[in-house]
Structure 1
Amino acid sequence: MDHSEEAYCRTDLMTITRHVLNEQNKHREACGDFAILLNHIVIGCKYVCSVVNKAGLAKLIGLAGNSNVQKKLDVLSNEVFVKALISSGCTCILVSEENEEAIFVEPSKRGRYIVVFDPLDGSSNIDCGVSVGTLVLSSGSGAMDSQLWRVHTNSSQYQEYAYTTIAQHEFYSEFYFGQIPKTGKIYSVNEGNARNWDEHTAEYVENCKFPHDGSLPKSLRYIGSMVADIHRTLLYGGIFMYPADKKSPNGKLRVLYKALHLVPKKIHERSPIFLGSHEDIEEIKELYAAFEDKNA
């Protein structure tokens, strides 16, 4: 992030809308549907940002109903995104982490884009003011049947919210990631689940704390909101882990929103995930490969 005096005195501001329109102008064949879709996603993000910032004052903290495990903000955020995406006229199928089934847009409002989203990731932390976020993937082509979901991703976005929002939703270029560092000094995992890990995950984390080669140990940083943890990992490098364990042998994070390279068989299928710098990922891959070879 640019903290120089010149950065705060810029008058030629690059907003998300301006960036999208600039890119659209490079493709004369573009009809503008994708720009409209992205603009409606931004509208949803702006609204959710607003209610997150005033959640306590607006009495939006807590559960939605007596026995419902959904948070009030989960329900509200989901409704906002569903209505914003349908009103764009550019979507045909919506899949939300908050809905058991896919939403098929009625023919009169139907477009060609499939959008899958988690409207408020990390909402279990909202009561104590921890950063939360939105994850959105959109595709102009895809297929769905009773056995398999395939979404060929055209774009993916995440938006981080806090009581003072860090990743600005209106200005496009507050952060420029470029390329994630090849290795990092941070590992991010919920060590409260350590007793349930498999031996290679446990071995990797032990080596993060007590490196075999005598190098400095990695620092543990774990927020418990994936958008916030991933945002930090992209900026500083390192590794984010949500491994499978004895309690959740198939992992806990949903494939459609958080594991893009996998093809799920159902819309809420779950998977373990390891994400981060190349060298850190290669190290844990080697541990898993060695374990498989030993048991072959």
Structure 2
Amino acid sequence: MRSTSHGMTLTQHLIEEQRKHNNNNITANLRLLIEVISRACRLISYHVSRGALGEAYGSSNKKNIQGEIQKKVDILANSILLEANEWGGNLSAMASEEMEDIHLIPDCFPKGDYLLLFDPLDGSSNIDVNVSVGTIFSVLPYLEGNIPTETSFLQKGSHQVAAGYFVYGPQISLVLTTGYGVNCFTLDRELGSWILTHRNLRIPPDTLEYAINTSNQRHWYAPVQRYIKELIEGEDAARKADFNMRWIASMVSDVHRILHRGGIFMYPADKRTPNKPGKLRLMYEANPMAFIVEQAGGAATNGKNRILDIQPQSLHERVAVFLGSKNEVDRVTRYHLEG
């Protein structure tokens, strides 16, 4: 597909990257997989945009594996991604935040060398009030040749070959990395094409913005209390600067803002559930976002360790998350290490 008068298309970008890197990491099958995901999410964006006019509006009164009430559009988005990616021959299996078990590619379709994980609709609790939501995805290699199992997915985030997210907002955006930087595409709704609009996004190492749910402050552990106290005290205290808090309660939207203008996003573990290391899912949220953030020059830890180095123990494992501008992530991580 040639570039339009508006700019380079997603397909053209992926082909050029494939040629530039001599098929190293970016294979034809990976390119096709990303294109299928992008078409599926274009359809999801349509259903999200319908809001109360559509059939997928409101709650379903069903719970997912996480124990969360599913929105009707959660279920629809999950089905769209499964059906779109079954037949292409690029995958051996899929896993979704909305499903307890992995989804094997049916025997009637060819199998591929990749595994796909996704959060079909991140931030879906915001849909009814028309706040931006999104889809997060992660692609892992699969070279075992046998029938995949849950264990096949339990790879460190550093093994990812691609990751990205879609933001369904005033503009429909796709942010993508294949391990060679981060690029942002905007959906041209008239043409139905994803157009490259932001090349090589970079997160500044310093920031005066932070994102955290302060309603949980009384439950935070001491390192987070210490860090946030410094930010709130402002220019008259140790940090000698005034910080602004931004919190959308939609991870894709908060991370999207950080990618474009810097910041730190935090979802720490807290005292309410001391047996759980955090709330966000390692495989569906933390790993893909950490891959993107690191590729953009930022950092991502669980408070002590680099997220991409964590060895998953289960498909729906949870983790604390601190990601964004490197110097701030390093600071709050240091506070955790100091105890």
Question: Contact (CA 8 Å) 2:166, 2:172: kept in 1 or not?
Answer: no
Q: Contact between 1:177 and 1:235, CA under 8 Å: does it hold in 2?
A: no
Which residue is equivalent to 1:255?
282
CA distance in 1 between partners of 2:77 and 2:133 (Å): 12
Q: Which runs of 5+ in 1 are unaligned?
A: 1-9, 292-296
- 8 Å Cα contact 2:92-2:142 kept in structure 1: no
In structure 2, the partner of 1:244 is: 269
Deviation at 1:200, TM superposition (A): 1.1
| Alignment match, 2:141 | 140
SS in structure 2 at match of 1:245: coil
Name the counterpart of 1:223: 248
Q: Higher mean Cα deviation, 59-68 or 152-161? A: 59-68
Which residue pairs with 1:46 in the alignment? 42
Offset, 1:137? 0.7
Aligned 8 A contact 2:93 2:114 in 1: yes
Query: By how many angstroms is 1:263 displaced?
Result: 2.1
Question: Aligned partner of 1:252: which letter?
Answer: K
Matches within 5 A, 1:149-228: 149-150=154-155, 152-162=159-169, 164-165=171-172, 168-169=186-187, 170-211=193-234, 212-213=237-238, 215-228=240-253
**Residue of structure 2 equivalent to 1:19:** 13
Counterpart code for 2:161: N
Spell out, residue by residue over 1:248-274, the C-alpha distance to the aligned partner (whole angstroms, 9 max, x if none).
Answer: 332110000223212211100000100
Cα drift, residue 73 of structure 1? 0.6
> TM-score scaled by structure 1?
0.88
Deviates more, 1:80-89 or 1:53-62: 53-62
Q: Rg larger in 1 or in 2?
A: 1
- Give the match for residue 90 of structure 1: 90
Q: TM-score, normalised by structure 2?
A: 0.77
Identity %: 32
Q: Contact conserved, 2:203 with 2:260, CA < 8 A, in 1?
A: yes
Equivalent position amino acid for 2:89 in 1: G
Q: Deviations over 1:58-108 (max 9, x none)?
A: 142211147771101100000000011112221111010010001111233
Q: One-letter code of the match for 1:259?
A: A
- Distance in 2 between the 1:177 and 1:92 partners? 31
The whole-number CA distance in structure 1 between the counterparts of 2:165 and 2:63 is 30
Provide structure 2 residue ranges, at least 5 long, that are not aligned to the other structure: 175-185, 188-192, 288-307
Aligned to 1:269: 317
Amino acid at match of 2:29: D
The farther-off stretch of 150-159 and 171-180 is: 171-180
**2:44 is aligned with 1:60:** no
The RMSD of aligned alpha carbons is: 2.2
- Pair 1:287 & 2:335 matched: yes
Q: Which residue of 2 aligns with 1:4?
A: none
After superposition, the Cα gap between the structure-2 partners of 1:40 and 1:208, relative to the gap in structure 1 and judged at 3 Å, is same
Alignment length (residue pairs): 282
Is the alpha carbon distance of 1:173 and 1:66 closer, same or farther for their aligned partners in structure 2, counting shifts above 3 Å?
closer
AA of the residue aligned to 1:216: A
SS in 2 for 1:183: coil
After superposition, the Cα gap between the structure-2 partners of 1:146 and 1:45, relative to the gap in structure 1 and judged at 3 Å, is closer
How far residue 216 of structure 1 moved from its aligned partner, in angstroms, is: 2.2
1:198-247 Cα offsets, whole Å, 9 max, x none, are 11101111111114335222101000000000011111112100000012
User: Does the CA-based 8 Å contact 2:77-2:121 persist in structure 1?
Assistant: yes
For 1:35, which of 20, 25, 31 is the aligned residue? 31
Q: Which has the higher strand share?
A: 2
Segment of structure 1 superposing worse, 203-212 or 146-155:
146-155
Query: Any conservation in 2 of the 1:177–1:234 contact (CA below 8 Å)?
Result: no
